[in-house]
Structure 1
Amino acid sequence: MKHLKTILGAASLAILSVTPVVAAERVLTIASWAPPTHVVNAKMWPLMIERLEEISGGTLTAKVKLNLAPPPAMSDLVLDGAADITFIFHGYNSGRFVTSELVELPGTSGSAEATSAAYWRAWDKHLRFAGEQDEFKTLAMFMHGPAHFHLTEVPSGLESIKGMKLRAPGGVGSAVIERLGAIGIQVPATKVYETLSSGAADGVIMNIDSRTGFKLDEVAPVFFEVEGGVFRGSFTALMNRETWDSLAPDVQNRLDAEFFGEPMSRAFGRLWDESDAATISATQKAGKPMIKLSDADMVTFTSVAKEVEAEVVKKVSAKGIDAQAVLDSFRADSLAIQAEIEK
C-alpha cells in the first residue's frame, strides 16, 4: 500500500453510476478520471460493464468511481488494490512506459479504431516483452485520433507556435512541440480548462473530441489542424493482478477469448472515432475557426517529426526491442485494418 496515502490524501470520492448495477456475485471498482460526459465514462466503461455481465452470466459487474486519484496516479491506485480497473494515458508517467511512445509518433495513418487494433497486435507480439505492465492484467491497448493544436488566438502559421506556452501531455506530444519552439506546460487533461482560462497557456495539443469532452471550445476556440496529427495518444486499460487471478478460470478464458485484447481495444478506438466525428460537426456548426497547416509548414513539421521518431526508436530499442521493425509493422497493420473498415 505504499502509494495509497499520497493518492487518497488528495482524492475526492465522486461516484459516477454509468449503468445500473445488476444483482451480481461480485462488483468490481473501475477508477476513472475523465469528466462524467467524456466518451470514456459515457460510452467505453458502460460497454465493458455490459460485456462483463454478459460473459460472466451475470455473476460479475462493475461500477465506476471518479477522481479517486489524480490521472498520473491511477496505475498505482490499481496496483495497490484500491480499485480493480482503470485506464491510463501513458505519457503522464514519464520514463515508466517508454515503449508507448513508439505508437504515438506522427506519420501513422488510420482511424482510432484501426490504430487501436494495430496497437494491440504490436503490444501483444512485441512491446509487452519490455515488461512495463507485467504487474497488471492488461485488458486493452487503445488510442485516440490525431491530436491537433487548440489555440486561444488565430495563428499565422507554424512559425506562430514558437514561444507559445502550450499544454502538452508528456511523451511524444511534448517532444514535438518543444522542437517546434513552444514552451511545454505539462498538466493532466483534467486541469486543461483551468490552465487556459487563467491565461497560463496559449493553447493545448489534444485530440478533437477534447473540444467537447474537456470544454476546449470555451477557452481555446481556434482549431489548428496538422494532417495526421501532432501525435496519437497511447492508453491502456488495466486490472489489478490479484483481482484477475481471483476470477473463475472459465470466466477468465471467456473474457480473454471474447472481449479483452484486440476486440476491446478496437471497440474503444471506434467509440473515440465516433466522438471525434460528432465534435468536428459541432465545431463546424458553432462557426469556430478551423485552420489547416499549409503545405510548406507541413514540410517543416514532417522534418521535426522525423527527428523525434529517430530519438524514440533509439530509446525503445534500448529496451531490447527491434523498434523500427515494430513501428513499420504497426503502421502497416493500421493501414490494412483501415482498408478493411472502409470496405
Structure 2
Amino acid sequence: MRVTKIASMTTAALLMFSTYAVQAAPEKTIKISTWGSPNHGINKVVWPTWGEWVEEATEGRVTVKVEYDLAPPQTQIDVVTDGIGEVTWIYHGHKAGRFKLTQLPEIPTFSDYASSELISQAYWRTYEAYLKKGREHRGVEVLALSVNGPGQLITKGPVSSLDDIKGKKLRVGGGVISDIAKDMKVTPVFTPTTKVYESISQGVVDGTYLPYESLASFRLAEVADNTTVYPGGIFRGSFAIVMNRDTLSGLSKADQEAIRSVSGEKLSRLFGKMWDDMDNVGYEAGIANGHTFTPATPEMIADLKKSTEPLVNKWYKSAKQRKIDGEAAYNYFYKELEQGL
C-alpha cells in the first residue's frame, strides 16, 4: 500500500515537472547576428540586457541567441532581410548610397554638450516624427537607433595642423565622415572597423576616424599613438538595431507589442549609454598604453567648421528628395536634444 502511494506521488511529481517544462520552454528563439569582438559593448551589454527585457516582457515565450560572424559588417542588413539572421546592428555608413536621412546626427556640432545616450533618444524621437517616412529601412523593422561617441582622428603620430595629414591614407567608414575626409584632403581608404587594427599595424593606412571606444574594443591603442581631439568630435556614426519583419509578424500580437515595449526609445538609450561607457573604457585603455590625446588647435577647429558648414544644406536636399521636411526635422532633433539636457 505504501509502495503504491509513493509511486502515485512520484508519478504526480513527474507530471507536474513535465507540465512546467513545457510551459517554461520558449516558443521562439530569435537569432541575433552580430559583429565586433565579444568584448565590444554591443555584445557584452546591449544584447544580454535586451534579451533579458524580451524574455521578461514575453513571460519566457521569446528568448534570444547571439551568433557571431554570420556575415561581414557591411552586409548585416542583408543578412536580416534574407532571414539568415533575425536581428542585427548596422552602421548606416556601410550603405551610404541607401541611407541619407540617417546622416542628420552625424553632422558635427563641435560642442560637448550632449552624451550619446541623449543624442540617441532625440534621434529615435526624430525618426518616429519625421525620418521614418523616408522609408530608408524598408524590408526590416527598426528597433532602435543610436550614435557612437565623438569620432576623432586616431593616428600613428601626432597631428599639429591639418597640413600634417594632407595626402595621408586614413581609414573612413562611410557616411558624413567621407565628405569631411575629402575636405581634410586625405586619401580615404574604405575598410570595415574590424580590419582597422590590421590596416594600421601593417601600414596600409596611417590612421582612422573613430571614437575613443575603438582604442579598447578594436585594440587600436596598441597600434596607434595619438588621438587628435575635437570638441564634440569630427562626426558621430549612426547605427540601428533592425529585425526581420517576417520574424516579428510571426509572433503573437501580444509578443510583438511586448518586444516593441522594450525596444524603441528604451533600447536606443541603452545603445547610446553603451557608447558613452565604452568611450570611458577606451580612454583608460589609451592612457594605459601610453596613448597621447592632443587637443585640436583653434585653427584646426576653425578650418574644419568652415568646411563642414555645407553639410546641413546637403542634408536638407537629401531630405527633400525623400519628401521629408528637412528643416523641420533638423529643428525638431535639436529641440529634443536641448530638452533632454
- Aligned equivalents of 2:328, 2:186: Cα separation in 1: 31
Shift of 1:236: 0.5
Instruction: Give the counterpart of 1:336 among 319, 322, 339.
Output: 339
Shift of 1:325: 2.3
Structure 2 SS opposite 1:145:
coil
Question: Does the aligned pair in 2 maintain the 1:114–1:335 contact within 8 Å?
Answer: no
Structure 1 SS opposite 2:204:
coil
Structure 2: gaps of 5 or more residues: 1-23
Corresponding residue for residue 88 of structure 1: 90
Corresponding residue for residue 5 of structure 2: none
Question: Does the aligned pair in 2 maintain the 1:102–1:316 contact within 8 Å?
Answer: no
* 1:97 matches 2:60: no
Corresponding residue for residue 281 of structure 2: 278
Instruction: Give the counterpart of 2:163 among 159, 178, 182.
Output: 159
Corresponding residue for residue 250 of structure 1: 254
Structure 1: gaps of 5 or more residues: 1-21
Question: Does the aligned pair in 1 maintain the 2:26–2:60 contact within 8 Å?
Answer: yes
Shift of 1:317: 2.3
* 1:211 matches 2:223: no
Question: Does the aligned pair in 1 maintain the 2:216–2:281 contact within 8 Å?
Answer: no
Count of residues paired in the alignment: 316
TM-score (normalizing by structure 1)? 0.89
Structure 1 SS opposite 2:237:
strand
- Aligned equivalents of 1:191, 1:293: Cα separation in 2: 26
- Aligned equivalents of 1:312, 1:190: Cα separation in 2: 28
Shift of 1:23: 4.2
Question: Does the aligned pair in 2 maintain the 1:152–1:221 contact within 8 Å?
Answer: yes
Shift of 1:174: 1.1
Corresponding residue for residue 310 of structure 1: 313
- Aligned equivalents of 1:221, 1:317: Cα separation in 2: 42
- Aligned equivalents of 2:158, 2:170: Cα separation in 1: 14
- Aligned equivalents of 1:187, 1:294: Cα separation in 2: 28
- Aligned equivalents of 2:178, 2:116: Cα separation in 1: 20
Structure 2 SS opposite 1:87:
strand
Deviates more, 1:92-101 or 1:280-289: 280-289
Shift of 1:149: 0.6
* 1:110 matches 2:114: yes
Query: What letter is aligned with 1:297?
Result: M
Shift of 1:331: 2.0
C-alpha distance after superposition, 1:135-163 (max 9, x if no partner): 11110011111100100111122222211
Question: Does the aligned pair in 2 maintain the 1:102–1:323 contact within 8 Å?
Answer: no
Question: Does the aligned pair in 1 maintain the 2:80–2:243 contact within 8 Å?
Answer: yes
- Aligned equivalents of 1:272, 1:315: Cα separation in 2: 27
1:3-82 counterparts in 2 under 5 A?
23-82=25-84
Corresponding residue for residue 9 of structure 1: none
Runs (4 or more) in structure 1 with deviation over 4 Å come to none
Identity of aligned residues (%): 33
- Aligned equivalents of 2:180, 2:153: Cα separation in 1: 12
* 1:168 matches 2:172: yes
Shift of 1:246: 0.8
* 1:123 matches 2:127: yes
How large is the Cα RMSD of the aligned pairs? Answer: 1.4
* 1:322 matches 2:332: no
Structure 2 SS opposite 1:129:
helix
Question: Does the aligned pair in 1 maintain the 2:168–2:206 contact within 8 Å?
Answer: yes
